[in-house]
Amino acid sequence: MLIKQAVISDAQGILEFQKELDRQTDLMLLYPEEHQDGCLDIENKIKQLSKDQGLWLLAEDQTGKIVGNLTVNRSHFRKIQHLGYVVVGVLKEARHKGIGDQLFNSMNQWVFNNRLHRLGLTVMQDNSIAQKLYKKHGFVVEGIRQDSIFQKQNYINELYMAKIFDN
């Protein structure tokens, strides 16, 4: 498994990954038809993350297919440059193979090198697999946003989780 930073030439692979992830799971925020990004949109997001000193990690299998993804969005506003917001996803065929751990380990090193102090994320309350991964990597639940997601005729709570770094 190769963990690498996204570059402009990865845009098509990222687009294919995102569409496949959206088809495979209800645990991401958007429905497949709501993801309207094209390659140019992905390229612009990669450029914007670079400009804002954010992070976009990709996990590639031995064939070069993107099977995992982790982003850290960071504000360019000085008062909150110390924090980032994490989004992560892994395709079904690549789950339970340590890819999430590899992505988080790479992210932790990047956080240290870039002097972030706090990372936050949200996760659906019934997504116990993701919560286990996040807790394993030091994230703690800070709060619950009740009935924040409406899916399959049900309201779902969302957990706020965060990790503080001492660097």
Give the whole-number percent of the chain exceeding pLDDT 90.
75
Q: What is the pLDDT of residue 166?
A: 86
Is 102 domain-assigned? yes
Question: What is the span of the domain harbouring residue 111?
Answer: 2-116
The reply to whether 83 falls in a domain is: yes
Please check whether residue 96 lies inside any domain of the structure.
yes
pLDDT at 133: 96
> What tens digit of pLDDT does each residue of 93-150 get?
999 999 999 999 999 999 999 989 999 999 999 999 999 999 999 999 999 999 999 9
User: Mean pLDDT over all residues of the chain?
Assistant: 92
Three-state secondary structure readout of the chain: CEEEECCHHHHHHHHHHHHHHHHHCCCCCCCHHHCCCCHHHHHHHHHHHHHCCCEEEEEECCCCCEEEEEEEEECCCHHHCCEEEEEEEECHHHCCCCHHHHHHHHHHHHHHHHCCCEEEEEEECCCHHHHHHHHHCCCEEEEEEEEEEEECCEEEEEEEEEEECCC
Which of 25-29, 78-82, 157-161 is predicted least confidently? 25-29
Local confidence band at 40 (pLDDT 50, 70, 90 cut-offs): confident
89 occurs within a structural domain: yes
The answer on pLDDT for 165 being more than 90 is: yes
- Mean pLDDT, to the nearest integer, of 25-42? 77
- CATH code, domain carrying 67: 3.40.630.30
pLDDT number for residue 37: 77
pLDDT of residue 108: 95
Q: Write down the pLDDT at residue 58.
A: 98
Number of domains in the chain: 1
Question: Has this prediction a pTM greater than 0.85?
Answer: yes
**pLDDT score recorded for residue 38:** 79
